[in-house]
Amino acid sequence: MQPPTRPWLTMAEPTPIHHVSNVFTVMCYNVLCDKLASRQLYSYCPSWALSWDFRKNVIMKEIKQYDADIICLQEVESGQFESFFLPELKTAHYYGIFSPKSRAKTMNEQERKRVDGCAIFFKTKKFELVNEHLMEFTFLAAQTADGEGSEEMLNRVMPKDNIGLVALLKTKKVEIDMAEKPSEFENMQPFESQPLVVCTAHIHWDPEYCDVKLIQTMLMMRELQKFIDQSATMFNISSNNEKPQQQIDPNSIPLILCGDLNSLPDSGVVEYLSRGRISVEHPDFKKLAYKLCLRKVCPIVDQNEKEYTHSFDIVKAYADGVLPFTNYTFDFRGVIDYIFCSRRLFSVLGVLGPLDTSWFSKHRIPGCPHHYIPSDHFPIVAELELLTKKSLAELEKQKQQQQQQEKNLDNKSGNNNNNNNNNNNSGNNSNGHIRR
């Protein structure tokens, strides 16, 4: 009755001159905290399989099985981070950072232990922590609540205390046994440490508050812009322009953004992240008067004030349709968990594929958690190659070579067609003489 193994889907090969330190895996996983795993919500799951003492070990087994280099978790309770996740993952050579939701600040020590939040773990042999930053959407919303739309911002957005957590990492050189597979390393470029920003977030859950989800996402992207400006200064990364007063290009530092966004692929949240823009009249704003407040958060594209924008060029690691769902319960099934990465600075090499959906129907499983599935969410995993300047140059070279090959084939095909036409014309002339 155990679920079948999820397949690994290869999307691309690493660049020929890549350094192994620049290829790594990222996991995103909402682990379903104990406080929210109630019998009222998950009555189809036996009590023993719903208990944290049982589920936590299955969750940890799953995390260690996938062995990702970077792990982003949501719904981690404060007490469980300290007593379980951090010590367990330290034994597997990870280090982690964590922050609970904003409500923890109003509670005593015992109550705080039950507040869930977000965590980022990374393998210490591959990464070094340079800086971290907490994004509290409650306080960010309060800062923008001035003028038209402030009432909605204060009454709808500010009370939702979701958070985002950001880590600035630096890649470390991974020691390699060159004798093991020498052919794989003969073209490998010299190691050069790279900065990397990892952000995870847990966006508000309620479908009736799609406006809140979208605004939390907009606040997050503005905070990321500020954080990357600071990070670029730390690493002496200059802007694409030469005017120091202008903002740093946010795409100059690699970004991985992942989390439980509680938003389907056709939502305003995913549209805004994927396209970098969204209409000021998008239905997800629910026709509420946020416009003046949001002008402080997002630049507006044109003089007609038609779209809010952000400056990041990011892409989903999973193409649409690869996963039928990332959350599976009795009354909801859909994709709401995502991994995004910088389009120009990463190549997506592969992703963890879906669980065979026939397993659920065959065993009449109405939803998760389940004996073998410890959360109502499924972990998603992507393998990424961080592209250096040399890697990008190599990719451009390959692209030009491919275009030249295609051009040569087209020319060859054209020459063959011309020869055939000449032969046909010659035949027509001959036949014409015969007919005469």
Active site residues: 260
Amino acid at 114: R
Q: How many residues does the chain have?
A: 436
> If you ran DSSP here, which 8-state letter would residue 77 be given?
E
Say how far apart CA 232 and CA 238 lie, in whole Å. Answer: 7
User: E strands, 275-387, where?
Assistant: 277-279, 307-309, 314-316, 327-328, 333-334, 337-342, 346-352, 380-386
Q: Write down the residue that tokens 């990321």 correspond to.
A: 224
Say how far apart CA 120 and CA 428 lie, in whole Å. Answer: 75
Q: What is the distance of C-alpha 277 from the center of its chain?
A: 17
**Beta partners for 335?**
none
Amino acid at 183: S
In this structure, the strands spanning 277-279 and 255-260 are unpaired
Say how far apart CA 316 and CA 169 lie, in whole Å. Answer: 21
Of the chain, the end-to-end C-alpha distance in Å amounts to 83
Say how far apart CA 277 and CA 268 lie, in whole Å. Answer: 10
Do residues 239 and 248 lie in contact, with contact meaning Cβ atoms separated by under 8 Å?
yes
Do residues 129 and 122 lie in contact, with contact meaning Cβ atoms separated by under 8 Å?
yes
Say how far apart CA 337 and CA 381 lie, in whole Å. Answer: 11
Q: Which residues of 3-32 are buried (b: 16+ CB within 10 A; e: fewer)?
A: beebeeeeeeebbeebbbbbbbbbbbbbbb
Q: For residue 18, give every residue at least 6 positions away whose Cβ sits within 8 Å of its Cβ, in sequence order, or none.
A: 188, 189, 385, 391
